[in-house]
């Protein structure tokens, strides 16, 4: 069954069709969210929330746009929004900005098979990592990132350069 | 340092070109599926003009029958099912009466020549019914309470208000 057909069926309430869409995209959505959170447990929760929201929003999806683009954009928005909602957001950001501990993701690397780039990405401090993922891997502009993360455009640029410098040091 | 810059650029390029997905360590589908609401059945779009031709004489009868059904429905005792709470039975009864009232109102408006002016009426109604369905499901599973009955009453009131707003336009006068 084609993806277009599955989208139409799922929009009308066909859960089997929605499962097929899930199977097609779960790995990319999971990878994307994991890069943003660097936390497997949190990623599990967020990915479930994302697919529930996809289910709810599917009837409004305009089939003229590309489904994967719409899906990954929704995934980014949900992930960042949920992260920001968390009460520990500011504390985690402060802590992440102050310390860079390349070993803090050791557990994550042990549990999940990550590519070479991802192994570096998850070691980045939180905001630095999110900026890098959105700009370098998702082609978001710095202005878009600034709007999404609630930071200045200049901060996004500086965090991106910081991410590159750190990753180059770790190579 | 220049080599490392090139190396990083190559890694990013490779990441963008190749499959960059990550397999979840656990199955997430079961958790997702349990949270998927049933979609409300979409009503088949019927041209309003055509609908009115058929609605004309039949609607008068239907409206009368539904009005009677509402009264009978409210008076008839609901047969108690095993392991079903009194709150849920009350909710079912309210839901049945509401459904009949909504149908009767829609037929009455159409009979009187009112047009539906709100294009997203079906979508909004579907959202309300979806919320109601979730509430009823929750009451069926957990028994419910007075607060949930109040919530159901509120949803029903919103449904009636929505119906009134949907038929705001003045009657269309047909040429004799």
- Structure token digits, residue A22: 């899930």
B5, B20, B35: residue with CB nearest A31? B20
Measuring CA to CA, how many Å separate A70 from each of A66, A103, B99? 6, 34, 37
**Is a pLDDT exceeding 80 seen at residue B127?**
no
**Is a pLDDT exceeding 60 seen at residue A94?**
no
Instruction: Report CA A49 to chain centroid distance, whole Å.
Output: 13
A28, A51, A136: residue with CB nearest B21? A28
- Interface contact B20, partner A, CB < 8 A: yes
Q: Does B32 contact A13 at a Cβ distance shorter than 8 Å?
A: no
Mind listing the pLDDT tens digit for each residue in A69-85?
999 999 999 999 888 87
ipTM of predicted assembly, 2 dp: 0.81
Give the residue extent of every domain in chain B: 48-176
Mind listing the pLDDT tens digit for each residue in A103-155?
455 556 566 778 889 999 999 999 999 999 999 999 999 999 999 998 999 99
B11, B14, B39: residue with CB nearest A13? B39
Give the A:B interface size as CB pairs under 8 Å.
87
Going by pLDDT thresholds of 50, 70 and 90, the confidence category of residue B44 is very low
Residues contacting B80, CB < 8 A, separation 6+: B89
- Interface contact B8, partner A, CB < 8 A: yes
Contacts of B13 in chain A (CB under 8 A): none
Domains of chain A in start order, with CATH, are: 1-86 (1.10.1740.10), 88-171 (1.10.10.10)
Q: How far apart are CA A9 and CA A63, in angstroms?
A: 12
Higher pLDDT among residues A56 and B167, named by residue: A56
B136-154 as b/e: b if 16+ CB within 10 A: beebbeeebeeebbebbee
| ∠ Cα A3 A66 B10 (to 5°) | 105
| End-to-end CA, chain B | 89
- Interface contact B153, partner A, CB < 8 A: no
> What is the reported pLDDT for B168?
60
What is the number of other CB atoms lying within 10 angstroms of the CB of residue B22? Answer: 23
**Is a pLDDT exceeding 60 seen at residue B119?**
no
């Amino acid at each position: 069954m084609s993806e277009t057909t599955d989208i139409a069926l799922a929009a009308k309430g066909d859960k089997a069709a929605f499962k097929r869409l899930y199977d097609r995209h779960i790995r990319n959505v999971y990878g994307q969210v994991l890069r943003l959170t660097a936390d497997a447990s949190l990623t599990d929760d967020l990915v479930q929330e994302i697919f529930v929201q996809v289910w709810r929003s599917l009837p409004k999806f305009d089939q003229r746009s590309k489904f994967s683009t719409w899906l990954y954009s929704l995934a980014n928005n949900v992930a960042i929004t949920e992260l920001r909602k968390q009460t520990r957001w500011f504390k985690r950001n402060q802590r992440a900005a102050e310390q860079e501990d390349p070993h803090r993701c050791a557990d994550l690397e042990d549990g999940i098979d990550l590519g070479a780039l991802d192994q570096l990405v998850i070691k980045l401090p939180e905001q630095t990592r999110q900026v890098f993922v959105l700009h370098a891997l998702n082609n978001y502009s710095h202005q878009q990132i600034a709007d999404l993360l609630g930071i200045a455009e200049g901060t996004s640029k500086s965090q991106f350069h910081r991410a590159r410098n750190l990753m180059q040091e770790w190579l | 340092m220049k080599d490392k810059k090139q190396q990083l650029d190559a890694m990013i390029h490779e990441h963008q070109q190749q499959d960059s997905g990550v397999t979840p360590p656990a199955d997430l589908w079961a958790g997702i599926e349990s949270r998927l609401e049933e979609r409300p059945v979409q009503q088949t779009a019927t041209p309003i003009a055509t609908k009115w031709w058929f609605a004309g004489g039949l609607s008068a009868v239907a409206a009368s029958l539904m009005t009677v059904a509402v009264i009978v429905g409210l008076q008839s005792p609901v047969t108690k099912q095993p392991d079903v709470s009194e709150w849920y039975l009350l909710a079912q009864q309210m839901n049945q009466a509401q459904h009949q009232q909504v149908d009767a109102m829609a037929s009455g408006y159409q009979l009187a020549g009112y047009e539906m002016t709100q294009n997203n009426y079906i979508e909004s109604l579907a959202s309300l019914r979806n919320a109601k369905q979730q509430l009823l499901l929750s009451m069926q599973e957990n028994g419910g309470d007075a607060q949930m009955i109040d919530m159901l009453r509120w949803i029903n009131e919103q449904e009636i208000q929505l119906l009134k707003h949907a038929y705001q336009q003045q009657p269309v006068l047909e040429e004799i």
